[in-house]
Amino acid sequence: MSLNKSETWNWKNWEISWSLSKESTSEKNIKILLVHGFGASKNHWRHNQDFLGKFSNCYAIDLLGFGKSSQPSALLNYETEKENSIKYSFDLWGNQISTFCAEVIKSPVYLVGNSIGGVIALKAAEILKDKCKGLILIDCAQRTMDDKRLKKK
Protein backbone atom coordinates (compact mmCIF):
# COMPACT_ATOMS: atom_id res chain seq x y z
CA MET A 1 0.00 0.00 0.00
CA SER A 2 1.53 3.29 -1.09
CA LEU A 3 1.48 6.21 1.32
CA ASN A 4 3.16 8.56 -1.16
CA LYS A 5 1.88 12.09 -1.45
CA SER A 6 2.28 13.43 -5.02
CA GLU A 7 2.96 17.09 -5.67
CA THR A 8 3.92 19.45 -8.49
CA TRP A 9 6.75 21.96 -8.24
CA ASN A 10 7.24 24.81 -10.70
CA TRP A 11 10.83 25.03 -11.97
CA LYS A 12 11.80 27.47 -14.74
CA ASN A 13 8.14 27.59 -15.86
CA TRP A 14 8.01 23.79 -16.16
CA GLU A 15 5.88 21.52 -14.00
CA ILE A 16 7.91 18.93 -12.13
CA SER A 17 6.16 15.97 -10.52
CA TRP A 18 7.46 14.56 -7.25
CA SER A 19 6.28 12.45 -4.34
CA LEU A 20 7.00 12.14 -0.64
CA SER A 21 6.56 8.91 1.27
CA LYS A 22 6.65 10.28 4.79
CA GLU A 23 6.49 13.73 6.22
CA SER A 24 8.30 14.00 9.53
CA THR A 25 8.94 17.25 11.33
CA SER A 26 11.85 15.82 13.30
CA GLU A 27 15.10 17.65 12.60
CA LYS A 28 16.97 14.36 13.05
CA ASN A 29 14.98 12.68 10.28
CA ILE A 30 17.07 11.68 7.26
CA LYS A 31 16.02 13.14 3.90
CA ILE A 32 16.51 10.97 0.79
CA LEU A 33 15.90 11.92 -2.85
CA LEU A 34 15.54 9.16 -5.46
CA VAL A 35 16.57 10.07 -9.04
CA HIS A 36 15.43 7.71 -11.80
CA GLY A 37 17.30 6.64 -14.94
CA PHE A 38 16.66 7.18 -18.63
CA GLY A 39 13.23 6.10 -19.85
CA ALA A 40 11.89 5.77 -16.29
CA SER A 41 10.01 7.97 -13.83
CA LYS A 42 9.57 8.46 -10.09
CA ASN A 43 7.25 5.42 -10.21
CA HIS A 44 10.39 3.31 -10.84
CA TRP A 45 11.12 3.76 -7.11
CA ARG A 46 7.62 2.99 -5.75
CA HIS A 47 8.62 -0.05 -3.66
CA ASN A 48 11.91 1.45 -2.51
CA GLN A 49 10.22 4.74 -1.59
CA ASP A 50 7.49 2.98 0.41
CA PHE A 51 10.10 0.97 2.33
CA LEU A 52 12.48 3.90 2.96
CA GLY A 53 9.52 6.05 3.99
CA LYS A 54 9.15 3.90 7.10
CA PHE A 55 12.47 5.32 8.35
CA SER A 56 12.95 8.68 6.67
CA ASN A 57 11.45 11.41 4.56
CA CYS A 58 11.89 9.84 1.13
CA TYR A 59 11.30 11.88 -2.01
CA ALA A 60 11.16 10.73 -5.64
CA ILE A 61 11.14 13.13 -8.58
CA ASP A 62 10.36 12.99 -12.28
CA LEU A 63 13.16 14.62 -14.22
CA LEU A 64 12.14 17.25 -16.76
CA GLY A 65 11.01 15.36 -19.87
CA PHE A 66 9.97 12.21 -17.98
CA GLY A 67 6.96 10.80 -16.17
CA LYS A 68 4.36 13.35 -15.16
CA SER A 69 6.77 16.31 -15.41
CA SER A 70 6.57 18.74 -18.35
CA GLN A 71 7.98 17.21 -21.52
CA PRO A 72 9.40 19.93 -23.76
CA SER A 73 10.79 18.93 -27.16
CA ALA A 74 14.50 18.13 -27.32
CA LEU A 75 16.63 20.85 -28.86
CA LEU A 76 20.01 19.86 -30.31
CA ASN A 77 23.05 22.12 -29.91
CA TYR A 78 23.01 23.27 -33.55
CA GLU A 79 19.26 24.02 -33.63
CA THR A 80 17.83 27.47 -33.01
CA GLU A 81 15.70 27.89 -29.91
CA LYS A 82 11.97 27.40 -30.30
CA GLU A 83 8.99 27.52 -27.99
CA ASN A 84 8.42 24.54 -25.67
CA SER A 85 11.86 23.04 -26.34
CA ILE A 86 15.03 22.66 -24.31
CA LYS A 87 18.58 21.33 -24.58
CA TYR A 88 18.55 18.32 -22.29
CA SER A 89 21.79 17.71 -20.42
CA PHE A 90 23.21 16.35 -17.19
CA ASP A 91 23.89 19.97 -16.17
CA LEU A 92 20.21 20.87 -16.70
CA TRP A 93 18.96 17.94 -14.62
CA GLY A 94 21.70 18.42 -12.00
CA ASN A 95 20.48 21.98 -11.56
CA GLN A 96 16.88 20.73 -11.38
CA ILE A 97 17.79 18.33 -8.57
CA SER A 98 19.93 20.80 -6.60
CA THR A 99 17.26 23.52 -6.86
CA PHE A 100 14.57 21.02 -5.77
CA CYS A 101 16.67 20.18 -2.71
CA ALA A 102 17.10 23.86 -1.86
CA GLU A 103 13.49 24.94 -2.50
CA VAL A 104 11.42 21.90 -1.52
CA ILE A 105 13.45 19.63 0.77
CA LYS A 106 15.23 22.58 2.48
CA SER A 107 17.53 20.26 4.38
CA PRO A 108 20.72 18.25 3.84
CA VAL A 109 19.90 15.23 1.70
CA TYR A 110 21.17 11.83 0.60
CA LEU A 111 20.90 11.38 -3.17
CA VAL A 112 20.22 7.97 -4.74
CA GLY A 113 20.56 7.75 -8.52
CA ASN A 114 20.01 4.90 -10.97
CA SER A 115 21.73 4.83 -14.41
CA ILE A 116 21.83 8.42 -15.74
CA GLY A 117 20.19 9.37 -12.44
CA GLY A 118 23.56 8.49 -10.89
CA VAL A 119 25.38 10.97 -13.12
CA ILE A 120 22.71 13.57 -12.36
CA ALA A 121 23.02 12.90 -8.61
CA LEU A 122 26.80 13.39 -8.88
CA LYS A 123 26.27 16.73 -10.65
CA ALA A 124 23.70 17.82 -8.07
CA ALA A 125 26.04 16.82 -5.21
CA GLU A 126 28.77 18.96 -6.74
CA ILE A 127 26.38 21.94 -6.72
CA LEU A 128 24.93 21.21 -3.26
CA LYS A 129 28.37 20.77 -1.63
CA ASP A 130 27.88 20.09 2.12
CA LYS A 131 24.06 20.08 1.70
CA CYS A 132 24.51 16.63 0.14
CA LYS A 133 25.20 14.21 2.99
CA GLY A 134 25.97 11.24 0.74
CA LEU A 135 25.42 9.48 -2.57
CA ILE A 136 24.29 6.03 -3.60
CA LEU A 137 24.83 5.21 -7.28
CA ILE A 138 23.09 2.18 -8.79
CA ASP A 139 24.33 1.01 -12.20
CA CYS A 140 25.68 4.51 -12.75
CA ALA A 141 25.88 5.44 -16.45
CA GLN A 142 29.46 5.71 -17.69
CA ARG A 143 29.01 7.73 -20.86
CA THR A 144 28.07 11.21 -21.89
CA MET A 145 24.67 11.92 -23.38
CA ASP A 146 26.18 12.67 -26.79
CA ASP A 147 28.54 9.66 -27.15
CA LYS A 148 26.53 8.05 -29.97
CA ARG A 149 25.84 11.33 -31.73
CA LEU A 150 29.53 12.33 -31.62
CA LYS A 151 30.58 9.09 -33.33
CA LYS A 152 28.37 9.92 -36.34
CA LYS A 153 30.13 13.21 -37.10
Q: What is the pLDDT of residues 57-84, one digit of tens each?
A: 999 999 999 999 999 999 988 888 888 8
* Residue 140, domain member (yes or no): yes
CA distance 36 to 54: 20
Please give the residue range of the domain that contains residue 126. 15-152
* Residue 72, domain member (yes or no): yes
* Residue 63, domain member (yes or no): yes
**CA-based nearest residue to 116, from 72, 63, 56:** 63
Q: What's the whole-model pTM score? A: 0.88
Is a pLDDT exceeding 90 seen at residue 151?
no
In sequence order, the β-bridge partners of residue 74 are 86
Q: How confident is the model at residue 153, as a pLDDT? A: 46
Q: 75 — phi, psi (to 5°)?
A: -120, 120
Q: Is 131 exposed, middle or buried (0-12, 13-18, 19+ CB in 10 A)?
A: middle
**CA-based nearest residue to 15, from 59, 68, 58, 60:** 68
For the stretch 102-148, pLDDT in tens is 999 999 999 999 999 999 999 999 999 999 999 999 999 876 655 54
Is a pLDDT exceeding 50 seen at residue 2?
no
CATH number at residue 84: 3.40.50.1820
* Residue 3, domain member (yes or no): no
Q: Is 71 exposed, middle or buried (0-12, 13-18, 19+ CB in 10 A)?
A: middle
Is a pLDDT exceeding 90 seen at residue 44?
yes
- Binning the chain into helix, strand and coil, the percentages to the nearest 5 are 30, 25, 40
* Residue 143, domain member (yes or no): yes
- How many domains are contained in the chain? 1
* Residue 56, domain member (yes or no): yes
Amino acid at 86: I
* Residue 10, domain member (yes or no): no
* Residue 4, domain member (yes or no): no
